[in-house]
Every structure is written in structure tokens, then in C-alpha cells.
Structure 1
Amino acid sequence: MNVKQLEQYFIKELSALYDEEEAKQLFCLAAGQISEWNRSQLLINATTQLSAEQSSAYNYILLELKKGRPMQHIFAEAWFYGLKFKVTEAVLIPRPETEELIEWILDTVKTQPVSSILDIGTGSGCIAITLKKNLEQVEVTALDVSAEALKVAAENSITNTAAVNFIHSDILTYSSPSKYDLIVSNPPYITENEKKEIHQNVLDYEPHLALFVSNENPLLFYKGIADFALINLHPKGKLFFEINEYLGKETVEMLSAKGFTDIILKQDMQGKDRMILCNL
């Protein structure tokens, strides 16, 4: 079987779980891992015959994908903002939308420098570690309620040579005398009613603790983090959120009612309300 035939086989075998474009992307990721080919090299090698060893490796990945396992869990790694992160079922797989949040933060601090950052709900550590790598002189702290997630984040901190301080605590009950110039969070925000929109492999393999909130109180963590920020941000400090695309207006109103100013609601590349910046 050559490369093009194998790609078509992937598409056919994964049709129950993924559409054609998704399956092609997964095949491209598999080719990058096994054959070290990018998309252009895939096209160039379309008629290349695969060795028995390579075929076996591709087939293993296909079998795992058919079980619904995310590709990042099969490889136990994910790329985020040019950095490699270990991922397990204890942490969320980093998303491209969060890279946009990173970009917004880095653009902001170019003209409004900060010396301390707190990342709340750090998970794999992707936000905190990426910020530390790009802002080496800034002290970065990361908090999470999950001890297992913090183990992964600590490993990622070492692997990426980024010195981050980690705190094991629940932000809804955590108190601290420490103050920060910038607080950022991508907290749980998917309501129970939205579960039907979530891909099955996310439901089966990613931590619900980091994903879901009740229908009755969807802004639970945003309110808690905002209250923490009122006490723990320096004057004129900044609060960044990644948000539920359906709750942009409600989140802005909540922050305004708590006294935050200069609130900006920003859309992601897909045109969805996805990020907020406000000042104390």
C-alpha cells in the first residue's frame, strides 16, 4: 500500500467518527510522527510504498483513533505556540483558540509591561509555560485544583526549561496575600446543555473537571476568579479570560458590575466571542 492509498483507507475507516477533512488532518499528524513528513512532503511521497514496520505503526494509530482516542493522547504530546507539551487524560489538550489568547497577552504587555503573572486552572501548564518562555524576566505562577494535572504541568515546565511556581488549590476557596500584575484563566465553561455539541473523544478522554459547569451557574469560575482578582491584582492590573462563546455579553456584564474597567470582548479567528481583557 502506498501513502495515498493509506490516506484513503484512514478516511474510510474513520468516517463514523470524523469527516473527510478531519480524517485527512489526523493522517497528516500520523505521517508527521511516523515518517516525519509535513503536508507538502506527503504530497511528494504520495506513491511511496510503506515498509512493513511503517504500515504497522500507522495501523496502530488507526486502531486507537477508531476507539475515539485523541491523537495527542496516542502520542502523549501536543504542540502549543511552538512548544511541545506532555498531555494525559488528566489535562485538557491545548487548543488553537488559546494560542490566540497568548498572542493577545504578549501584544498587550509589549506596551504595558508586567512583572508577575498568575495562571488559574493551568492544566498542562501551556499558558503559564508559554508566557514564561516569551517573558523570561516575569515571575509566573500557576494554580490548579488537580494534583494529577500539576504533575503534568511540572514535567512540562522542566522539559521546556521554564521556571514556573505551582500551587495546588481550588480557586473558589483559595486566598493569598500575593498580588499580581496580570491574571489569566481558561476555566471550565461548557454547560451541561452544550455536551451534545462536544466531540465524543473529548467526552471520553478529557477531564470533565476542566470542561463543564452547571446550567444554573455557568459563570461560577469567572465570578470566583474575578473576586480573587479584585483582591490580588495590583492597581491597574489586568485580567484575561478565555470564555464560552455563548456567554460573552453575560461575562462582560458580570465584570462591569464588579467594578472592572476598559473591558474588551474579542473574537477568535472563527468569529466567535472567545476572549476578554479588563482592568482593575
Structure 2
Amino acid sequence: MNLSQLLHHFKEELKDVYEEEEVKSIFFISVEHLLQLRRSQLMLNWEKEPEPEKLTSFLTILEGLKTHKPIQYLLGEAFFYGSVFKVNEAVLIPRPETEELVDWILEEKRPAPSVIDFGTGTGCIAISLKKHLKDASVTAVDISEEALRIASENAGINQAEVSFVSADILTFQSDTKFDIIVSNPPYITEKERTEMQQNVLAHEPHLALFVTDERPLLFYEAVADFALSNLKENGSLFFEINEYLAQEMIQMLKDKSFVSIELRKDMQGKDRMIRAGLKLNHLSSGVI
């Protein structure tokens, strides 16, 4: 079976699972991963027949796709901010909108900043920041030991020196002050489950996805409280947020004495990111 025939086979087998364009995109990702052929190169290699073991790998991927398993988990890797990150079902697959959050943080152009990332997962935010801020001191926190194992491996793969800490966002304390505090915590409410795709619900870790309907800002409040004590003068607090809770987030930050609160939309026009700072009199007096 050559690559042209294999693509046709993917389309036929997955027509009830994915749209055709998505099948093609998944196929191209698989080809690049297994055969090291980019999409542009594939156009000249449609008649190429994969070796038997490679063909078996393609068919194994196809069977996984039929169960709605994301291609990133099937390949064991995902791309984020120009780098490769190992993934498994203990960590969320890095999203493009999170790349926009990294972009925003890098816009600040701080010299040798101290950074802490809460709920690091794959380590994609912390590692990407360290790779682009060579003199930064970066700490990454997660409650999941398996997530920290994956994140540590990703730091090694990407040659990024990051300190990983096993801790609960809700109770973590430190005497260290930080220039940048960032978090992309669980923010999907239980009532939003029905809107989610099956491949996410069935395979991505619910611990990293969901919060209760009663306290949807639970983790944001905890990180914000940490920032009240641990954010340096002129430091910035960054969050990736639930688009439906943007105004609640702004009000929560105002109630906790944060200022210069800025809301940004992602590439799809959704309210997705917030940055905030603290008043100087708060930092000097300790008064909330």
C-alpha cells in the first residue's frame, strides 16, 4: 500500500469520526512523525510504500483514532511554541491558545526574571519561557507526579533548566518573590461537559480540566492569593481563563486589590488571557 492509497484508507475508515480535512491533517502529522516527510515533500512521494513495520504503525494509529484517541497521544508527542513535547494521558495536550499566553509574557522583555508556573502539566509554558529567556529562573508546580515526570523529561529534551515542585496549588507557599506568576489551571465547569469533544472527555486528564460549578474560580483565587504575597514590585500575574468567566475573573482580581488588569482575546476571538499587577502601596504595606 503506497501513501496515496493509505490516505484513502484513512479517509474511508475515519469518515464517521472526523471531517475529511481533519483526517488529512492527522495523516500528514503521522507521515511526518513516522517517515520524516513534511507535507511539501509528501506531494512528491505519494507512490512511496512504507516498510512493513512502518505500515503496521500507521494502521495502529488508525485503530486508535477510531476510538477518538487524540493523535498526539498516539504519537506520544505534541508541538508547542516551536518545540516538541512528550505527552501521555496524564497531561493535557498543549493548545495553540496557550502559545499566545507565552507570547504575551515574552512581550514584557524582562531581564533575568524569576518565574513560577502553576499547574505546569507538560511543562510547556515554563520550558518555553526558559528557552526564550535564557537568564530566567523558572519554577514549575504540579500536583500530579506523573505530570512532573513528563515535564522533567520535556525539560531535558528541550535543554531547559526548570525547577519542578510537587505541590497543590491550593496550599502551596513560598518565601520567594517572583517577577512573573503564571497559571493555566483547570477551568472547565461541569455544566460545560456536554459541549466538549469526545476525544477530550475520553482521554485527557479530568484533574487538569474540570472545576465545580459552585467554585469555578477556585484555582485562580488560590494563585491570586499567592501573588498577593509573592509577586515582586512591578511584577505581572498571568492567567489563561475560561472565556465564559472573564468578567468574574476581572472582578475577583479587583476585589483582591490587583490593578492594571488587561483582558486579551485569543486567535479565535475568545476572552482567553488576563494580566494583572499590584498597587505599590499594597506591596509596601502588606495591606490587601
Superposition TM-score tier, normalisation by shorter sequence? over 0.9
Task: Decide whether the 8 Å contact of 2:116 with 2:178 is kept in 1.
Answer: yes
Q: Deviations over 1:227-257 (max 9, x none)?
A: 1111110122100111111111211121122
Aligned-residue offset at 1:271 = 0.9
Alignment partners' CA distance in 2, 1:113 and 1:190: 34
Number of residue pairs the alignment of both structures matches: 278
Alignment partners' CA distance in 1, 2:257 and 2:103: 26
Aligned to 1:167: 165
Aligned to 2:88: 88
Alignment partners' CA distance in 1, 2:50 and 2:87: 29
Alignment partners' CA distance in 2, 1:117 and 1:239: 10
Q: What is the one-letter code of the residue matched to 2:80? A: F
Moved more, 9-18 or 88-97: 9-18
Alignment partners' CA distance in 1, 2:106 and 2:248: 26
After superposition, the CA RMSD in angstroms is 1.5
Aligned to 2:75: 75
Task: Decide whether the 8 Å contact of 2:91 with 2:122 is kept in 1.
Answer: yes
Task: Decide whether the 8 Å contact of 1:188 with 1:213 is kept in 2.
Answer: yes
Task: Decide whether the 8 Å contact of 2:111 with 2:135 is kept in 1.
Answer: no
Aligned to 1:22: 22
Q: Deviations over 1:84-120 (max 9, x none)?
A: 1111111111111111111111112x2x445200000
Task: Decide whether the 8 Å contact of 1:188 with 1:212 is kept in 2.
Answer: yes
Aligned-residue offset at 1:220 = 1.0
Aligned to 1:146: 144
Moved more, 175-184 or 42-51: 42-51
Unaligned runs of 5+ in 2: 279-288
Task: Decide whether the 8 Å contact of 2:112 with 2:135 is kept in 1.
Answer: no
Aligned to 1:250: 248
Q: Deviations over 1:162-216 (max 9, x none)?
A: 1111111111111211110110100000111111222212112111110000111
Aligned-residue offset at 1:159 = 1.8
Moved more, 210-219 or 30-39: 30-39
Unaligned runs of 5+ in 1: none
Aligned-residue offset at 1:50 = 4.2
Aligned to 2:212: 214
Aligned to 1:263: 261
Q: Normalising by the residue count of structure 1, what TM-score does the alignment of the two structures yield?
A: 0.94
Alignment partners' CA distance in 2, 1:254 and 1:8: 52
Q: What is the one-letter code of the residue matched to 1:31? A: V
Aligned to 1:40: 40
Task: Decide whether the 8 Å contact of 1:114 with 1:182 is kept in 2.
Answer: no
Aligned to 1:158: 156
Q: What is the one-letter code of the residue matched to 2:245? A: L
Alignment map for 1:175-254 (pairs within 5 Å): 175-254=173-252
Moved more, 194-203 or 219-228: 194-203
Task: Decide whether the 8 Å contact of 1:117 with 1:140 is kept in 2.
Answer: yes
Aligned to 2:3: 3
Alignment partners' CA distance in 2, 1:17 and 1:219: 34
What percentage of residue pairs aligned between the two structures are identical? 54
Q: Normalising by the residue count of structure 2, what TM-score does the alignment of the two structures yield?
A: 0.92
Alignment map for 1:95-110 (pairs within 5 Å): 95-108=95-108, 110=109
